[in-house]
Amino acid sequence: MKKRSSGILLHITSLPGKYGIGNMGREAYDFVDFLVKSGQKIWQILPLGHTGYGDSPYQCYSAFAGNPLLINLERLTEEGLLKKSDLPDNIYFDDENVDYGKVHEIKYPLLHQAYENHMSQKNKLRNIRFESFCRKNQKWLEDYAFFMALKKHFKGIAWTEWEHDIKMKKDDSMNYYREHLKNDINYFRFIQYLFYSQWLELKAYANLNEISIIGDIPLYVAFDSSDAWANPEIFDFDEHMNPVKVAGVPPDYFSETGQLWGNPLYNWEKLREDNYQWWIDRIEANFTLYDILRIDHFRGLAAFWAVAFGEKTAINGSWIEAPGSEMLQSVFDALGPLPIIAEDLGVITPDVVELRDRFGLPGMKILQFAFDSGEENDFMPHTYNKNCAVYTGTHDNDTTLGQFIQSQQTDLELMQNYFHVEKKDPAWSFIKLAWSTVGNVAIAPLQDVLRLGTEARMNFPGKASGYWKWRFTKNMLTEKHEDELLKITRLYGR
């Protein structure tokens, strides 16, 4: 990330296409082609994990597994795992918003059908590839597949509500269910094989076209996850496997009561015992999926906000120091130098800056945060150095047009004094400003390239549901967008 470059933030679910959700099919390859034609070098996405309740990519059933909903069904027909007549061509899906309930209802039976066809076909080459995938990923895949089979068996309830003996992983119960659910366990392994096969092929296409993928690693795992159930010792749990304290952030820009995420906190003492091997494995696995990694909530590696389990808001918490420096050193010692971006947003204290700078990690600069006349901030472009990633906004912000429309008069005056904002096209003015800065990396969400308003917002931090739905349609992205992006990318040497 030493060279100047630029790119677009767009999650896979937001791509156009059939069957209600963006996926790893033709439209994903078309988007790579768009990036190439517009002179971009980066495609940034959100976490690719298997999402749970609320559909947030930051709350997944595994820190390693991919989201089955992103598997492209047409590819399965090409491989003979489904017939074309199996595909739901007579069902209406909203092209502009993901209806997750409907997508689940339609897609999972088809994935199960693909698995059954695989089992009956006895395709030698596919069997060899599948077995190889299972061996290579055994460390996380076995826990995930067993966890998901159990979750299916117990009708989707959280693992804390399962029968006591399997919740507590008693040997007899584990052996019984492993045998009883072996077909479902194999199904969940196979679905991951399909996901990884399709994703790594898409990533290879991007890389061959000199597009790097920035992926996102949530700092915490979900409470209802295979990670928490299979490795309770590395989390802050009591003897009944209940959390003692949970994760969140204190009152901030987004919420007066803070954000109570509810994720289990790490037992850092336990993680230290084997030199943070779980973290090393996790980051290594992420670099199979991505070229560059953004660590979400990086500040939690310096100190984290801990809230007693059972609290209704995140107001009553406390900061606890984390051994992030020691952990990152172990990761770099094991894996070598890694291109990592620190998401250093929120309540940033000197220890966070020190941790980021000790490892030379680029931080993030958000232009939407710069023009707040009521606060001092370090988001004004004249304060940047080269080692940063500059964003117009992120998936957690309103779109730039949406925010501009709601800006106070004093903020609008500050913008006009600082740089020329085209009032009829503010989003593009912000993109040009991001591209013009000294920061080595400049990124804009696709919503800003398309000049969309608040209706296209991807997420609202602190709100548990109703987000992660936005999609664009094929006709929205045109040659005009290619040309204007290419022009400023060349103009500003990216």
Instruction: Identify which has the larger pLDDT, 250 or 141.
Output: 141
pLDDT over 80 at 192, yes or no: yes
Confidence class for position 17, pLDDT limits 50, 70, 90: very high
pLDDT reported for residue 77: 97
Q: β-strands 245-249, 259-264: how paired?
A: antiparallel
The CA distance from 17 to 477, in Å, is: 13
Confidence class for position 2, pLDDT limits 50, 70, 90: confident
Contact of 295 with 283, CB cutoff 8 Å: no
Mean pLDDT of 433-461: 97
Burial of 474 (0-12, 13-18, 19+ CB in 10 A): exposed
Confidence class for position 461, pLDDT limits 50, 70, 90: confident
User: In the predicted model, what is the mean pLDDT of the chain?
Assistant: 95
pLDDT over 80 at 373, yes or no: no
pLDDT over 80 at 254, yes or no: no
**Nearest of 144, 223, 221 to residue 186 by alpha carbon:** 144
The structure tokens listed for 125 are 């080459």
Mean pLDDT of 199-214: 98
pLDDT reported for residue 66: 98
Task: Say which residues have a Cβ less than 8 Å from residue 437's Cβ, sequence separation at least 6.
Answer: 365, 381, 384, 390
Q: Which tens digits make up the pLDDT trace of 24-44?
A: 999 999 999 999 999 999 999
pLDDT reported for residue 53: 85
How many domains are there within the chain?
1
pLDDT over 90 at 375, yes or no: no
How much of the chain, in percent, has pLDDT values that exceed 90? 91
Mean pLDDT of 148-159: 97
The CA distance from 13 to 24, in Å, is: 9
- Provide the H-helix boundaries in 154-209: 164-167, 171-180, 182-208
Confidence class for position 154, pLDDT limits 50, 70, 90: very high
Confidence class for position 255, pLDDT limits 50, 70, 90: confident
Instruction: Identify which has the larger pLDDT, 378 or 183.
Output: 183
Distance of alpha carbon 433 from its chain centroid, rounded? 26
How much of the chain, in percent, has pLDDT values that exceed 70? 99
pLDDT reported for residue 1: 73
Range of 255's domain? 5-491
pLDDT reported for residue 140: 97
pLDDT reported for residue 465: 72
- For the entire predicted model, the pTM comes to 0.96
Confidence class for position 433, pLDDT limits 50, 70, 90: very high
pLDDT over 80 at 335, yes or no: yes
The structure tokens listed for 184 are 């479902």
CA 100, 104, 105, 111 torsion-angle sign: positive
Confidence class for position 296, pLDDT limits 50, 70, 90: very high
Q: Where does 378-436 show beta strands of DSSP type E? A: 388-391
At residue 263, what is the residue type?
A: N
The set of catalytic residues is 296, 343, 396
Confidence class for position 394, pLDDT limits 50, 70, 90: very high
Bridge partners of 247, per DSSP, are 306
pLDDT reported for residue 378: 84
The CA distance from 405 to 423, in Å, is: 10
Q: Please report how the helices 350-358 and 324-335 are oriented relative to each other, as an axis angle in degrees rounded to 10.
A: 10
pLDDT over 90 at 372, yes or no: no
CATH number of the domain within which 422 lies: 3.20.20.80
At residue 43, what is the residue type?
A: W
At residue 59, what is the residue type?
A: Q
Confidence class for position 76, pLDDT limits 50, 70, 90: very high
